[in-house]
Amino acid sequence: MNENINNVENEIKTDGLLAVSPSPHIKNGITTQKIMLHVIIALLPATIWGIIMFGAKAAVIVAVSVVSCMFFEWGTQKLLKRQNTVSDLSAVVTGLLLAMNLPSGVGILIPIVGAFVAIVVVKQLFGGIGKNFLNPALAARVFLFMSWSEPMAKFTPIGVADATAGATPLAILKDGTSSMDISLFDLFIGRMGGSIGEISALLLIVGAIYLVIMKVISLHVPLSYLGTVAIITFIFPQGGMSNLDFMLTQLLSGGLMLGALFMATDYVTSPVTAKGRIIFGIGCGLLTVFFRYFSNYPEGVSFSILVMNALVWYIDKATKPRVFGTKKAKAEVAKK
Amino acid sequence: MKKKSGFLTQLKEGILDNNPVLVQLLGMCPILALTTMVSNAIGMGLAATAVLICSNVLISLLRKFIPKQVRIAAFIVIISGFVTVIEFIMRAYVYSLYQSLGLFIPLIVVNCIILARAEAYASKNKVLPSAVDGLAMGLGFTFALFIMATIREIIGMGSFLGIPLFGDFYSPATIIISPPGAFLTLGLIIAVVQKIRNNAEDKAQIAKMKAQAMGEAKEEKDA
């Protein structure tokens, strides 16, 4: 019976002679699929760099993560009898981001579980694309991190020259006992231990510039996020480093670049207005520095973005622009 | 004959259709806190069931004597009396369980399921149905605790009733036995239960519609 009703609806839609639709009536041809394709292109350089640095293991993790994300998307929608959206590539982006957030030595089970959490629990159960209130890849990363903290924090050292034996720059800074022996230049181009996709700040920035040029993301969130972190770390350096060195090390290490450029700018889980985006970015920055300075973990990017994700609804509500031609009703605002 | 079917429907109501935890969403505190191990969950469920049956019976007996204005206080006094009894019994006979449940045994006093059944059922019904209601709701509570603890213990600790199920190749997902995992698991279970209930409702509605327009539906099906 349901099928019959659906068929009738489709007939009305595809009739074509008299198309009745709400505004907007002028369309520019941007589809979810195209935007997601741009994001994938922007993420590829950093991913390929990770695969070059960490070897075939990393490639396997990327492949497993992407394929299982697509599978879970397809499977859940089949099971819940929803319209299938695998072809809009959003699951591929989620899988790619998830893999970029994993260390190269995690094995095959962890990316599959991560894909399940990201797609089924965080995305589809909340209603599918556009309705998730947390960034799926980040939520999955935090889930995995809390579940298997040991393999998730074991970073393979790169090459032989690095004597840091798996400790990331942030862990060294946090520990405070041994001194940093990775130069800032190495940090910038990505010769250090870390998750697959987060190590090369240079290639991530190149990808983000591509996205900005293609008008996929705006600069509000990345600039306010990175700016907040930069200012605070410049004023309050730790571990006996000079202000500038400490600031640059903090900016270039850990998942900050990946988070600020690609995770915090996710359409669904970031505010709509420019003002809201700046508030969102500053909040992310403050929380990231807070977690890095005071928490037990060396890294706080994923936690801070998730916390701000959860606040997006309130930020949107508070920064709702005035409708043209109306006056701001102060009493009403105060009441709310 | 009539009584028996009433008893069965009451049981089914308590365990499945109107499960206190999964449908009425009562008693969230023990279900979140005590479901890391199956043994704890069963112990808690049975202790609460015993208190629930006893308090339902006594409240039903006293329902004509308790003044309406102070009924909540009276219910709580009765319930806490039985909880104290259960606590001493557990301390005497199942000391290890008593120790691992700890503070949560006295907290049965404020378990909303027990108060809710006293208020909504026992204070309005006769003794026997009240006793059955206590049993049904208690078993429903135990059932929910058991399902949730089974899932959490198997995924989060890799064991069932303390017996390890997997070899070394499975390293358990510790988040499932930590507090966030409790909320996640409970949310997922409730989602599944709601989905099943919705489906059943849809089916019932479709059947109703079909019955109303039999001929038309048949034609549509054939087409």
A5 vs B contacts (CB less than 8 Å): none
Q: What's the pLDDT score for residue A287?
A: 92
Tell me which residue of A73, A51, A323 sits closest to A200, measured CA to CA: A51
Kindly report the number of other CB atoms within 10 A of residue A72's CB atom.
24
Q: What's the pLDDT score for residue A68?
A: 92
A125 vs B contacts (CB less than 8 Å): 188, 191
Is-contact B176 B152, C-beta < 8 A?
yes
Residue A143 resides in a domain: yes
In a 3-state reduction of DSSP, which class is residue B71? helix
A:138-177 residues touching chain B, CB 8 A cutoff = 143, 146-149, 151
Which comes out higher in pLDDT, residue A224 or A83?
A224
Whether the pLDDT of residue A328 is over 70: the answer is no
Tell me which residue of A228, A205, A331, A329 sits closest to A277, measured CA to CA: A228
Query: pLDDT grade, residue A159 (50/70/90)?
Result: very low
Whether the pLDDT of residue A15 is over 60: the answer is no
Q: Kindly determine whether residue A147 and residue B173, on different chains, have CB atoms separated by under 8 Å.
A: yes
The per-residue pLDDT for range B14-42, each reduced to its tens digit, is 777 788 888 888 878 888 888 888 888 88
Residue A12 resides in a domain: no
Task: Tell me which residue has tokens 């191990």.
Answer: B37
Mean pLDDT (chain A) is 80
Residue A14 resides in a domain: no
Whether the pLDDT of residue A326 is over 60: the answer is yes
Q: Which residue of A has its CA nearest to B174?
A: A147
Whether the pLDDT of residue A88 is over 50: the answer is yes
Kindly report the number of other CB atoms within 10 A of residue B15's CB atom.
21
Tell me which residue of B89, B137, B130, B81 sits closest to B109, measured CA to CA: B81
Query: pLDDT grade, residue A216 (50/70/90)?
Result: confident
Cα separation values, A7 from A1, A3, A11, A13, Å: 10, 6, 6, 10
A1 vs B contacts (CB less than 8 Å): 206, 209, 217, 220
Whether the pLDDT of residue B116 is over 50: the answer is yes
| Shortest alpha-carbon distance between residue B175 and chain A (Å) | 5
- List, in sequence order, the alpha helices (H) in B26-126: 28-33, 38-61, 71-93, 95-101, 112-117
Q: What's the pLDDT score for residue A25?
A: 72
Residue A226 resides in a domain: yes
Query: pLDDT grade, residue A225 (50/70/90)?
Result: very high
The per-residue pLDDT for range A38-71, each reduced to its tens digit, is 899 998 888 888 888 888 888 888 999 999 999 9
Whether the pLDDT of residue A224 is over 90: the answer is yes
- What is the spatial distance between Cα A257 and Cα A102, in angstroms, rounded to a whole number? 15
Q: What's the pLDDT score for residue A249?
A: 82
What does the pLDDT average to over A100-117? 86
- What is the spatial distance between Cα A271 and Cα A136, in angstroms, rounded to a whole number? 16
What is the value of ipTM here, to two decimals?
0.72
Q: Which residue of B has its CA nearest to A149?
A: B174
Q: Which residue of B has its CA nearest to A121?
A: B188
B191 vs A contacts (CB less than 8 Å): 125
Q: What's the pLDDT score for residue B66?
A: 85
Query: pLDDT grade, residue A286 (50/70/90)?
Result: very high
Quote the percentage of chain B above a pLDDT of 70.
Answer: 92
The per-residue pLDDT for range B156-168, each reduced to its tens digit, is 877 777 777 776 6
| Shortest alpha-carbon distance between residue B215 and chain A (Å) | 14
Which residue range(s) make up the domain with A200? 30-318
Residue A220 resides in a domain: yes
Q: Kindly determine whether residue B191 and residue A113, on different chains, have CB atoms separated by under 8 Å.
A: no
Q: Kindly determine whether residue A147 and residue B217, on different chains, have CB atoms separated by under 8 Å.
A: no
Residue A230 has, within 13 A of its CA and on its CB side, a CA count of: 12
Q: Kindly determine whether residue B217 and residue A121, on different chains, have CB atoms separated by under 8 Å.
A: no
Beta bridge partners of A306: none
- The residues, any chain, with a CB within 8 Å of residue B188's CB and separated by 6 or more, are A121, A125
Q: What's the pLDDT score for residue A282?
A: 92
Whether the pLDDT of residue B44 is over 80: the answer is yes
A:3-22 residues touching chain B, CB 8 A cutoff = 4
Q: Kindly determine whether residue A121 and residue B184, on different chains, have CB atoms separated by under 8 Å.
A: yes
Q: Kindly determine whether residue B174 and residue A143, on different chains, have CB atoms separated by under 8 Å.
A: no
- The residues, any chain, with a CB within 8 Å of residue A180's CB and separated by 6 or more, are A169, A172, A173, A241, A249
Residue A25 resides in a domain: no
CATH number assigned to the domain comprising residue A298: 1.10.3430
Q: What's the pLDDT score for residue A158?
A: 55
- What is the spatial distance between Cα A202 and Cα B167, in angstroms, rounded to a whole number? 43
Cα first-last separation, chain B? 46
Query: pLDDT grade, residue A11 (50/70/90)?
Result: very low
Query: pLDDT grade, residue A108 (50/70/90)?
Result: confident
The per-residue pLDDT for range B1-10, each reduced to its tens digit, is 344 457 778 7
Q: What's the pLDDT score for residue A179?
A: 55
Q: Does A113 touch chain B (CB under 8 A)?
A: yes
In a 3-state reduction of DSSP, which class is residue B159? strand
Residue A4 resides in a domain: no
Domain count, chain A: 1
- What is the spatial distance between Cα A171 and Cα A196, in angstroms, rounded to a whole number? 17
What does the pLDDT average to over A286-313? 87
| Shortest alpha-carbon distance between residue B104 and chain A (Å) | 26
Structure token digits, residue A266: 């996710």
Question: What angle separates helix B38-61 from helix B127-157, to the nearest 10 degrees?
Answer: 170
Q: Which residues of B touch A (CB under 8 A)?
A: 171, 173-176, 178, 180, 184, 188, 191, 206, 209, 217, 220
Phi, psi torsion values for B85, nearest 5 degrees: -60, -50
- Mutate one of B169, B170, B171 to test the A interface: name it (highest A CB count within 10 A): B171
Whether the pLDDT of residue A1 is over 50: the answer is no
- What is the spatial distance between Cα A327 and Cα B203, in angstroms, rounded to a whole number? 51
Q: What's the pLDDT score for residue A10?
A: 42
The per-residue pLDDT for range A179-196, each reduced to its tens digit, is 556 677 777 877 777 788
Residue A70 resides in a domain: yes
Whether the pLDDT of residue A175 is over 70: the answer is no
Q: Kindly determine whether residue A148 and residue B174, on different chains, have CB atoms separated by under 8 Å.
A: yes
Q: What's the pLDDT score for residue A12?
A: 45
What does the pLDDT average to over A272-301? 87
| Shortest alpha-carbon distance between residue A143 and chain B (Å) | 7
Kindly report the number of other CB atoms within 10 A of residue A71's CB atom.
17
Whether the pLDDT of residue A164 is over 70: the answer is no
Query: pLDDT grade, residue B108 (50/70/90)?
Result: confident
Is-contact B121 B133, C-beta < 8 A?
yes
A148 vs B contacts (CB less than 8 Å): 171, 173-174
Tell me which residue of B56, B51, B171 sits closest to B111, measured CA to CA: B51
What does the pLDDT average to over A315-321? 86
What does the pLDDT average to over A239-262? 82
Cα first-last separation, chain A? 46
Kindly report the number of other CB atoms within 10 A of residue A227's CB atom.
15
Structure token digits, residue B202: 């849809």
Whether the pLDDT of residue B86 is over 80: the answer is yes
Least confident of A26-35, A59-68, B56-65: A26-35
Q: Kindly determine whether residue B220 and residue A113, on different chains, have CB atoms separated by under 8 Å.
A: no
Q: What's the pLDDT score for residue A228?
A: 92
The per-residue pLDDT for range B123-162, each reduced to its tens digit, is 888 888 888 888 888 888 898 899 898 888 888 877 777 7
